[in-house]
Homo-oligomer: A and B are copies of this chain.
Amino acid sequence: MPERMLFNAFHMFAVSHHAQGLWAEPDSRQLGYTDPAMWLDLARTLERGRFDTLFFADVLAPYDTYRGSRDAAVREGMQFPTGDPSVLIPLLAYHTEHLGYTFTQNILQEHPYPFARKVSTLDHLTGGRVAWNIVTSFLPGAGRNLGYGGLPGHEERYGRAEDFTQAALKLWLHSWEDGAVLRDRARREFADPAKVHAIVHNGPCYQLDGPHLSEPSPQRVPVLFNAGVSPTGRAFAGRYAECLFINSQDPAEAAPIVADVRRAAAAAGRNPAYIKVFVPQSYLLAGTEAEARRRHTELLERQTVEGNLARASVFAGHDFGLDAPDALVGDLRRREVSEPVRKLLATTTRDDWTLGELILSRTNKRVVGTPEQIVENIARWRDAGVDGINLEYVISPTSFTEFVDHVVPLLQARGLMQREYRPGTLREKLFPGGGPRPPRDHPAWELRPRCGPASGR
């Protein structure tokens, strides 16, 4: 059982992440997403609450499955527009001492050579508090926007991810030897060229010579997050992930995926217990359960149905615009409906909802209750062997400030959350005792340069 739980604040550099329409609530600061002050206040709140990292999701295209159009996403600021999260991190890190910063970047976006430099720069500027969430993209529009015509197929994307990740890991770990940096003022020698190696990565998708443009940063390799769930994705995560993000609301559902990834890790020669598993959870709290439920119902009513359908259609792989989302559930029960709708109708006895409202309620699962009840939920995840929570906000920053003020003290009293940060880099905080770099059984260490002359051209 995990010693204590880990906590990421799950966010996007955008107006709206999961709970569509609630950016319009009076206590929301989400419209201020282009204002550094909003982010600084959030980061300080999270550090006060001893969160482990601020986790930035990211997408590179609007959601356009619903009604074959991006209109609902654009109208509601639903994960669109989105800013580049990487450029926020040094600012936020400068104004916090311990909080880590996890940013998502998909492997189609950028060549690994400048990407590796960017990450090393972030790791330098933050004193080793950066994590990279490795994703392969899921929106067809992202593939079109990056010049691939459309989204490359799943296996091709994972092939690219393998190549990209190996190239980056070689640059981070194997280009500059320990001791390469001299900083010798007396001899006017900055580095020893004999210890700075070319990499000559000649992969199927990415080629580069190196050497790495950055001297070794505190962690060298960012803490590696991944969310692979397909068979290929689980194998990839087993090889590389240090933190695994499982998009599951149910420990029983998550368990076989986690077991599979741990098996893949073992097969790759890694300690399978090393990998930290995170699940997303959204909490809505109040002083009493009844009050929390009332608040939840009220907020659901204030959420926007169209933006939610835009998101739900992408994740269902089905355009709910084809299903008369304004029709009443009672009426739909008497009609021929699509398979996804048939399954949804089976989840409720209410007939007075529209289909859109039913989908809204089913795709906005929240743990609703008192702080004590939320602590119980977190304890259950811990008991199920899950290591951490990606805390999805309902309203930002309200969801985080309420959690910090009312839930964190109870979690700390139960030993479920750290009272103080551990010293050192993010990796040392998350994986105590192992030092700032990936453990020696991580396959990154085996990726020796194919032909890496020390010095020379």
Task: Tell me, yes or no, whether A414 is within 8 Å of chain B by CB.
Answer: no
Q: Which residue of B lies closest to A217 (CB)?
A: B34
Task: Tell me, yes or no, whether A83 is within 8 Å of chain B by CB.
Answer: yes
Residues of chain B with a CB closer than 8 A to A183's CB: 31
* Partner pick for A209 among B145, B213, B457, CB 8 A cutoff: B145
* Contact yes or no, A24 B215, CB < 8 A: no
Number of copies: 2
Task: Tell me, yes or no, whether A324 is within 8 Å of chain B by CB.
Answer: no
Q: Which residue of B lies closest to A456 (CB)?
A: B69
Question: Min CB distance, A88 to chain B, in Å?
Answer: 6
Residues of chain B with a CB closer than 8 A to A145's CB: 113, 208-210
Residues of chain B with a CB closer than 8 A to A263's CB: none
* Partner pick for A124 among B34, B77, B113, B146, CB 8 A cutoff: B34
Task: Tell me, yes or no, whether A247 is within 8 Å of chain B by CB.
Answer: no
Question: Min CB distance, A222 to chain B, in Å?
Answer: 13
Known A-B contacts A31-B183, A457-B68; A62 and B211 likewise in contact (beta carbons under 8 Å):
yes
* Contact yes or no, A75 B110, CB < 8 A: no
Ordered by A's residue number, 26 sampled pairs between the chains whose C-beta atoms are within 8 Å are: A21-B188, A23-B188, A24-B186, A24-B188, A31-B183, A31-B185, A34-B124, A36-B90, A36-B125, A61-B213, A62-B211, A75-B191, A75-B193, A76-B190, A81-B215, A83-B120, A84-B114, A88-B90, A88-B121, A109-B111, A109-B114, A113-B145, A114-B146, A141-B209, A144-B209, A147-B208
Residues of A in contact with B (beta carbons under 8 Å apart) = 13, 15-16, 21, 23-24, 31, 34, 36, 60-62, 64, 68-71, 74-77, 80-84, 86-91, 94, 109-111, 113-114, 117-118, 120-122, 124-125, 141, 144-147, 149, 183, 185-186, 188-193, 196, 206-215, 217, 304, 455-457
